[in-house]
Amino acid sequence: MKNFVYDIPTKVYFGKDQIQSLSELVKNLGKKLLIVYGGGSIKKNGIYDSVLEQLKKADGEWFELSGIEPNPRIATVKKGIQLCKEKKIDGVLAVGGGSVIDCSKAICAGAYYNGDPWNLVMNPSLIKNALPLIAIPTMAATGSEMDHIAVITNEDTDEKIGTRHPLLRPIASILDPTYTFSVSPYQSAAGVADIMSHIMESYFSKEPGLILENVAIGLLKTCMDSGLKVLEDPEDYEARANLMWVSCWAINDFLKLGRPVAWSVHPIEHQLSAVYDITHGVGLAILTPHWMEYVLNENTVDIFEGFFRKLWDWQDKELDSYELVYKGIEELNKFYAKLNLPMTLHELDIDSSQFSAMAKKAEKQVQQGFVPLSESDIVKIYEASL
């Protein structure tokens, strides 16, 4: 196990009605707040009213930035930064999915930066300060509420990049599982696929790590089991709560510390959602089995075999390693089918015309991956996913 520093300072308020803590919490943000939210789901499900009630109690002044799009754009980040500078905002409250939280993180950093905020995405070392952020996630997926990542799209260059900096981590997050009851079956399923991918991306490392592997399998099984339950009953509190907490632990650094971890499927997917604006988790569900098949070789087969034996409880299954892995991938595909997710890029109206251009951009980010991939490798993974 490699040396590491474990430092996750986000204070988490977990459970039903934890919004009651917000009025005290926002006092730490300062007098003038910016509330950031998406296309209106929080107004339909009542979360907006609950938040406002707390802000009134805290006697603060607030401004709003709404309409944050899924796969948030740098142009929207710029709007938020301008508002922060004009109104001399002291802190930001993000209420929504990962897109809202990511956009808010970039706004928080951009409020202290005078150049083009895209520079902060491409070069996070330029981030020297950030406004304090409180996150109120309304779906379980990205884990942005407890991580230091903000994924932003540049619509001019068709790039989607995750910037990382400790200052981007929310100072506090309020996680009320009932806030996720209204998430549609499609977005719930995509969220499950995203959480699964975060766990798998960290699992597949060039070095073993027994604690991490065992915890990862436990998280993965919990996520899959709870994912099917919320599709059956969207108001299953326990299952929604499991998903909400697993989504944080999948990406809050715990699984990646102590051994080298470099994600592969995410950079390949980010190109798809940058160019075609697809739902991130859906792209991951389509690509992951094909990535597994592509990187399966004599150096990786034992790791995949160990993974699938633990995941599907196949400890005693007598099969040749390769056969077992192919069967394991087949089961994974069956699971995604149970989530009712599209299984091919065709179903999302994606053809091969942009594959080379997308692979060229993704390649830069997967060179240190579990199995380093070249542009032509990535094109082949896209082609297999068609």
Which stretches of the chain bind ligand NZQ, using CB under 6 A?
Answer: 38-42, 45, 70-71, 96-100, 102, 138-139, 141-144, 147, 149-151, 179-180, 182-183, 187, 191, 194, 251, 266, 273, 280-281
Q: At which residue do the structure tokens 């950031």 appear?
A: 36
Q: Which of 30, 160, 173 is nearest to 95 (CA)?
A: 173
Nearest to 265 by CA among 322, 167, 197: 197
Contact between 102 and Zn ion by CB under 5 A: the answer reads no
What token pair was written down for 342? 């599209």
Q: Which does 328 bind (CB under 5 to 8 A by kind): ligand NZQ, Zn ion, none?
A: none
Residue 187 site contact among ligand NZQ, Zn ion, none (CB < 5 to 8 Å, cut-off depends on kind): ligand NZQ
CB of 149 to ligand NZQ, least distance (A): 4
User: Left (φ > 0), alpha (ψ -120 to 50) or beta: where does 143 sit?
Assistant: left
**Least distance CB 136 / ligand NZQ (angstroms):** 10
- How many CB atoms are located within 10 Å of the residue 324 CB? 19
Give the range of 192-200, 224-232, 310-318, 338-346 binding Zn ion by CB under 5 A.
192-200
What minimum distance in Å lies between the beta carbon of 141 and ligand NZQ?
4
Residue with smaller CB distance to ligand NZQ, 41 or 222: 41
Taking the complex as a whole, how short is the minimal distance between the CB of residue 164 and ligand NZQ, in angstroms? 9
Select 244 or 325, whichever has its Cβ closest to ligand NZQ: 244
Residue 194 within binding range of Zn ion, rule CB under 5 A? yes
Structure tokens that stand for 9 in this block: 């300072």
What letter does residue 218 receive in the DSSP assignment? H
Q: Is residue 162 a contact partner of residue 362, using CB atoms and an 8 Å limit?
A: no
CB 201 to Zn ion: min, Å: 8
Q: Which does 183 bind (CB under 5 to 8 A by kind): Zn ion, ligand NZQ, none?
A: ligand NZQ
Place of tokens 């892995």: 325
Tell the smallest beta-carbon distance from residue 80 to ligand NZQ (Å). 15
User: Burial letters for 283-301: b for 16+ Cβ neighbours within 10 Å, e otherwise?
Assistant: bbbbbbbbbbebbbeeebe
Q: Which residues pair with 37 in a beta bridge?
A: 95
Which of ligand NZQ, Zn ion, none has residue 256 at its interface (CB below 5 to 8 Å by kind)?
Answer: none
- Report how far residue 350's alpha carbon sits from residue 361's, in angstroms, rounded to the nearest whole number: 17
Per-residue buried b or exposed e for 41-67, using 16+ beta carbons within 10 Å of the residue's own CB: bbeebebbebbeebbeebebebeebbe
Query: Where do we find the tokens 């997917």?
Result: 269
From ligand NZQ, Zn ion, none, interface partner of 149 (C-beta below 5 to 8 A by class): ligand NZQ
CB of 176 to Zn ion, least distance (A): 22
Q: Which is nearer to Zn ion, 190 or 241 (CB)?
A: 190
Q: Which residue's CB is nearer to ligand NZQ, number 188 or number 305?
A: 188
Contact between 201 and Zn ion per CB under 5 A: no
**Which residue in this structure is represented by tokens 């692979």?**
359
Q: By CB under 5 A, name the binding residues for Zn ion.
A: 194
